Structure 1
Amino acid sequence: MDVHLNPELQTKIEQRAAETSRTPEEIIEEAISGYFEKLAHVREKLGRRYNEIKSGKVKLLDGEACFEALRRRERELLK
């Protein structure tokens, strides 16, 4: 697979490779692998949260009511 990078990003990768005595390919592979691991973690967490909401285990809060409560607390603190 060929990956085309803009010159600025390519320079950063080459610098990182030189600093760590690794190849640019290793740097790119590590970055992409890390990205997919984080993506899988986020998807799993969102899936669990969705199931908790759907089952009623977790109740949603009214956003406007929460912001109003925060504004009220802020006003009280500023007095």
Structure 2
Amino acid sequence: MGWVVGWKKAVFLTNGRPLLLAAIALTEPIHLPKLTVMEVHIKPETESRLTELASKSGRATDDLVEDALAGYLTEVAEVREMLDGRYDDIKSGRVKPIDGEAFFDGLRQREDELLKQRNPK
């Protein structure tokens, strides 16, 4: 958080002398809420792996967790965006949904045909 501050004599007088110098804010502080401490519970085996990776890489465990979590959240956001787009495609009629069972039946048939072609009896 940063302040731009100017100094000015206070107008409060005591026996003809300035009482104090006051800091006057010239701009508002830029305040971005930031969570600085969070307790995260992880399994002992995960903690062990994290500690081992920190030791091997020379990086702090906090940095590794931050990077992993940031990457995970980015990936989740990308998947969410992709799913929202697919949903919009279906709702608008740009694509036609297919029956899951029918799709997998067709997939199994194509696989069986490929296996028969590779291994004729």
- Written as runs of structure 1 = structure 2, the 5 A alignment for 1:34-45 is 34-45=71-82
Question: For 1:14, which of 51, 55, 71 is the aligned residue?
Answer: 51
4+ residue segments displaced more than 4 Å:
74-77
Greater CA deviation, 67-76 or 47-56?
A: 67-76
- Aligned-residue CA RMSD (Å): 1.8
Aligned partners of 1:28 and 1:75: how far apart in 2? 45
Could you tell me which runs of 5 or more consecutive residues in structure 1 were left unpaired when the two chains were aligned.
none
Q: Which has the higher helix share?
A: 1
Number of residue pairs aligned between Structure 1 and Structure 2:
79
Q: Which has the greater radius of gyration? A: 2
Greater CA deviation, 36-45 or 7-16?
A: 7-16
Question: For 2:88, which of 42, 45, 51 is the aligned residue?
Answer: 51
Q: Which has the higher strand share?
A: 2
Give the structure-1-normalised TM-score. Answer: 0.83
1:67 aligns to 2:104 (yes or no): yes
Letter in 2 for 1:22: R
Percent identity between matched residues is 44
Deviation at 1:8, TM superposition (A): 1.1
Aligned to 2:30: none
Aligned partners of 1:37 and 1:20: how far apart in 2? 23
Greater CA deviation, 54-63 or 36-45?
A: 54-63
Q: Which has the higher contact order (CA 8 A, sep 6+)?
A: 2
Aligned to 1:4: 41
Deviation at 1:60, TM superposition (A): 1.0
Residues 46-74 of structure 1 deviation map (CA, whole Å, 9 limit, x = unaligned): 00000000000001112333333334444
